[in-house]
Structure 1
């Protein structure tokens, strides 16, 4: 007797999708065909899904094996010293933090030290250990501020890994020549192909990369398609010309002044006004100089301002925005734009050969002082004029806690950015000594790291004064965090006397003494850790650590 097997039931088209939909909605709301509703429906659904899974897998045809990737390229840079490699692993493994601004404890925040460690390792020219690359790329993926230093340290092997893992493709987009999305500037054919056919983000990245290496080539690339670009794209592309801006860019920017987009015109005008020798700067100088004069008719010389009575077509073409913001007078709005765009060299010649300090010391009639000085502030930042920035800042100990034109901390920080690192640190140290730390956080952020000795001493002294005064401690947590990253590690010895909890005065914030002791303990520990990090990177790689390239990365490893 011959047994005949039961006929194989062919699944209905879309059976798997029906099962997935039923599982998502629940069998109370929907059951696939062939499964009756009721209390046994969930089990029947799972049975059907299991059977369909086996059926789908059994029906797969074997595919041809993919070609094995080539080994990772060698990194010719020297290997990290063993102690530094262990330190890197610790920094990458740390995920501590105080989300929500809670109490941090006395332990250092290792992830906040990673950017500094990477900068030091890159300065020494070391190669990343191959086993650390995945964690390094994961850290850079989560923090865009880490990417430039992390990718420089990771080297060519990071690009090799990024081609194998979609999670790390940011490395390809961030590195010229790292992927087809970003060819090397010298590869003319691929550059032009991507510029014509690439996505907007790819084109921005390409233009930025080329501009950093060859400003003229980037400008020519942009000029070739400028008339056909969308207004919002033209604005972003034009902004890339800030890198390497020079006199050769003037003809292109002058053409952009006739653009149909107001925002494009304004950006072109801003860039041209940053070139004191440009034709636009000359036109603005004539307009602005006609509005300001020295009046000798009173008891002493003073400045008088006669703002424009209209915004003509020429002014609009040169970037002056005609419509004033709400609550702002039209004439003062127009005048501020003219004074901001005029070369600062205009004013000594116009105002009797006076120096910037002498000009700023003159009284200004009819309440125009703040408007005029604020415009000069913006001009000093735009034109990177250190002499005018010094005059506008004034002495750090002045009662106004700033200069005559520095009406906000943000403006003072921008003015400080035009000065050299040493001068900047000395000015902020003087500001802290005169006014304390309550307003200094934004100013500290523009100072070079590590802080110069006078600035470091000023910060520590101000923290000590706040501690002894029983001040509310949590308001200084931001400055403490900056000090951990920016204070010179050699200052750690000066802080040992601040580690004990001070006696709390009656009017002190509850728990303030313990917080201050904890914060200073963390600061000292962090400074000594930074010193150890620097020492580890100065050591000669030990025998047995292996030179880069001796163990090639490959899928098998």
Structure 2
């Protein structure tokens, strides 16, 4: 390599890989390389420069002027990733074939969509990332924020070491607790106090979260010690750390925060207190809500009568009620919804004649207030994570109104489902799909545990088969098909063999639809088999192996995609 070329690629950060690539594609005759004189030596100088740049890219370093050699990377004590799994990771990181949108994607699995699942499994097994994969892993996480938590957990301490050397990966330092710095333990009182008083905001948030998980009382004391001096936006962020492990012991501090000068801080404190059913705020809200909602026995059948509040007084505002409604909302209905949402759900049976949640939801509501009242109960059930009320508000999945009187939207239904146990959640969504099909099921499927329980998986496959038989194109179901590729149990691959053939085309079918459906099901089966192979490759040595799905063998890692 000549000295000029080495200087260009080694010391000048302005020389980029794109510059090298452009010169190579156009040729040094048309695009003379600045690091060498024109002539027969120019191509050699360009290749030498590309070799140096390639080494630096693989090492994770950007070109820069000579400086003090960095400290060695920290050791990663976790077990080494199995060789087959390491090859699979390289394939997943190299793949860029995933199609955007809902168009035709062919029959090959979308490897980039399997990367999050692979990373979660690798982290679950406790493996260390191969050092040579770290640059590509950090590049992938930089481009996709959904990958970052699992990617950084898998990459371990060496990712933070690299991030300090390459500005492209500084996101890893921002995402790591305390910017990647080691946090003192709760027993080191002097270090804890010093970091809390002098640390950067990210370090203080990380410290508070770490203490919250191990010594909640100490975390509250630390927060209270500087609370009046903190900025409003910082107080809001600090208060948000109390969501994890929220307990009755937090009530005194949160009650004090109700008098905060920031409206957002007051609202957050009120929300947290209302999630504690036995708090004083919850009791105050129960009294206010009970004054607005009562059982009317004067008609032929009992009904719920609603009389919303006439005003929003100062005590209501202190307890988190927002006085001014959004555009298009009436004041009184806005106030009513907030009171009912914050009242403990356990207070309603006594107020409404000893009825259960299911019986209360079934009662008629006078004067058109049912939607407002049930929507508020939905928000309360989600906030208080009350499975009984969630179940009652969801109703039967086969109901004509598709989810019960309280589920005013698919988003609300999905939130209510999250309060149920995974098996019950999957059974409800399976019943919903069996009755209503897949057109409204995408959000509901997104809250179900992976892999899908067998009844849910069967309901999805049956609904896709029905859609195929209807003769339409599969692209309107591409979202559900993509979920099925990632969430179906790989053992279901054998059941799908009969769907791989191109069906006889009906006269009223869209032209070529059968072939497109066969291609989509082929991709689904290939992906399920690939996921089974991935799980087998990640299994620790000596662990029992799950049975592989029947059918043709999965392609080797270097041939997939």
Q: TM-score, normalised by structure 1?
A: 0.81
Corresponding residue for 2:388? 387
1:213 Cα deviation after fit: 4.2
Matched, 1:485 2:486: yes
Give the Cα–Cα distance (whole angstroms) in 1 for the partners of residues 411 and 80 of structure 2: 43
Check if 1:438 corresponds to 2:445: no
> Could you say which residue in structure 1 is the equivalent of 2:89?
88
Contact 2:178 2:206 in 1 (8 A): no
Structure-2 change in CA distance of 1:503 and 1:311 (3 Å): same
> CA distance change for structure 1 residues 67 and 344 in 2, over 3 Å: closer, same or farther?
same
Tell me, in whole angstroms, the C-alpha distance in 1 between the residues paired with 2:407 and 2:67: 67
**Alignment-derived partner of residue 401 in structure 2:** 400
Matched residue, 2:159: 158
**1-side partners of 2:209 and 2:105: how far apart?**
39
Deviation at 1:221, TM superposition (A): 2.9
> Which residue number in structure 1 is paired with residue 121 of structure 2?
120
Contact 1:79 1:541 in 2 (8 A): no
Q: Which residue of 2 aligns with 1:66?
A: 68
Aligned-partner Cα distance in 1 for 2:290–2:526? 57
Q: Rate the CA distance shift 1:505–1:204 in 2: closer, same or farther, 3 A.
A: farther
> CA contact under 8 A between 2:235 and 2:265: conserved in structure 1?
yes
3-state SS, counterpart of residue 491 of structure 1: helix
Does 2:474 correspond to 1:505?
A: no
Corresponding residue for 2:259?
A: 258
After TM superposition, give the deviation of residue 206 of structure 1 in Å.
4.4
* Cα shift at 1:319: 0.8
Cα deviation 1:521-555 (Å, max 9, x = unaligned): 1110000000001111125299xxxxxxxxxxxxx
| The 10-residue stretch of structure 1 (485-494 or 356-365) with the greater mean CA deviation from structure 2 | 356-365
Alignment of 1:89-104 (within 5 A): 89-104=90-105
| RMSD (Å), alpha carbons | 2.3
The number of residue pairs the alignment matches comes to: 479
Once residues 487 and 64 of structure 1 are traced to their aligned partners in structure 2, the CA distance between those partners, rounded to angstroms, is 52
Instruction: Look up the SS of the partner of 2:237 in the other structure.
Output: helix
Q: Are positions 1:350 and 2:351 aligned together?
A: yes
Contact 2:178 2:203 in 1 (8 A): no
Whole-angstrom CA distance in 1 between matches of 2:220 and 2:510: 59
Which residue of 2 is the match for residue 365 of structure 1?
Answer: 366
Between 1:103-112 and 1:324-333, the stretch displaced more is 324-333
The yes-or-no answer on 1:183 pairing with 2:195 is no
Q: Which residue of 2 aligns with 1:420?
A: 421
Cα 1:101/1:214, change in 2 over 3 Å? farther
> Deviations 1:303-346 (Å, cap 9, x if unpaired)?
11121111111111111111122222222111111111000010
1:56-96 per-position Cα deviation (integer Å, ceiling 9, x unaligned): xxxxxxx99625523x3333322222211111111111122
**Residue in structure 1 matched with residue 25 of structure 2 by the alignment:** none
| Alignment match, 2:468 | 467
Look up the SS of the partner of 1:304 in the other structure.
strand
2:282 aligned partner: 281
| Residues 103, 475 of structure 2: 8 Å contact kept | no
List gaps (5 residues or longer) in structure 1. 1-62, 543-557
TM-score, normalised to structure 2, is 0.80
Partner in structure 1 of residue 28 of structure 2: none
**CA contact 1:360–1:392 (8 Å) conserved in 2:** yes
Deviation at 1:482, TM superposition (A): 0.4
Please give the alpha-carbon distance, in whole angstroms, between the structure 1 residues aligned to 2:342 and 2:178: 39
CA pair 88-367 structure 1, distance change in 2 beyond 3 A? same
Which secondary structure state, in structure 1, belongs to the residue aligned with residue 524 of structure 2?
helix
Q: Which residue is equivalent to 1:334?
A: 335
Once the two structures are overlaid, the 10-residue window that deviates more, 353-362 or 451-460, is: 353-362
- Give the equivalent residue in structure 2 for 1:11: none
Q: What does the per-residue CA deviation read over 1:471-492, in whole Å, with 9 as the maximum and x for residues that have no partner?
A: 3421100001100100000001
1:210–1:217 Cα contact (<8 Å) kept: yes
- For 2:4, the equivalent position in structure 1 comes to none
Task: After superposing the two structures, state which structure 1 stretch, 74-83 or 385-394, moved more.
Answer: 74-83
Aligned counterparts of 1:171 and 1:192: Cα–Cα separation in 2: 26
Q: How has the CA–CA distance of structure 1 residues 188 and 135 changed in structure 2, closer, same or farther, with 3 Å as cutoff?
A: farther
Task: Sort the Cα spacing of 1:518 and 1:214 in 2 relative to 1 into closer, same or farther, 3 A.
Answer: farther
- The residue aligned with 1:39 is none
CA contact (8 A) 2:267 2:321 kept: yes
Distance 1:541-1:166 versus aligned 2 partners, 3 A rule? farther
Q: Please state how far the C-alpha of 1:209 moved relative to its aligned partner.
A: 4.4
- Maintained 8 Å contact 2:426/2:452: yes
What do residues 341-396 of structure 1 show as CA deviations (whole Å, max 9, x unaligned)? 00001001111111111111111111111111111111000000000000000010
2-structure distance, mates of 1:163, 1:111: 27
- Between the two structures, name the one with larger relative contact order (CA 8 Å, sep ≥ 6): 1
Please state if 1:232 is matched with 2:253. no
User: Equivalents in 2 of 1:115, 1:75: separation in Å?
Assistant: 21
User: Which shows bigger deviation, 119-128 or 169-178?
Assistant: 169-178
Q: 1:73, 1:157 within 8 Å by CA — same for their partners in 2? A: yes
2:149 aligned partner: 148
Per the alignment, do residues 369 and 130 of structure 1 end up closer, same or farther by CA in structure 2, a change over 3 Å counting? same
How far apart are the structure 2 equivalents of 1:471 and 1:147?
Answer: 38
In the other structure, the counterpart of 2:375 is: 374
| Structure 2 alignment gaps of length 5 or more | 1-64, 544-561
Give the conservation status (yes or no) of the 8 Å contact 1:274–1:383.
Answer: yes
Compared CA separation, residues 388 and 459, structure 1 to 2 (3 A): same
Name the CA distance, whole Å, in 2 between partners of 1:321 and 1:178: 36
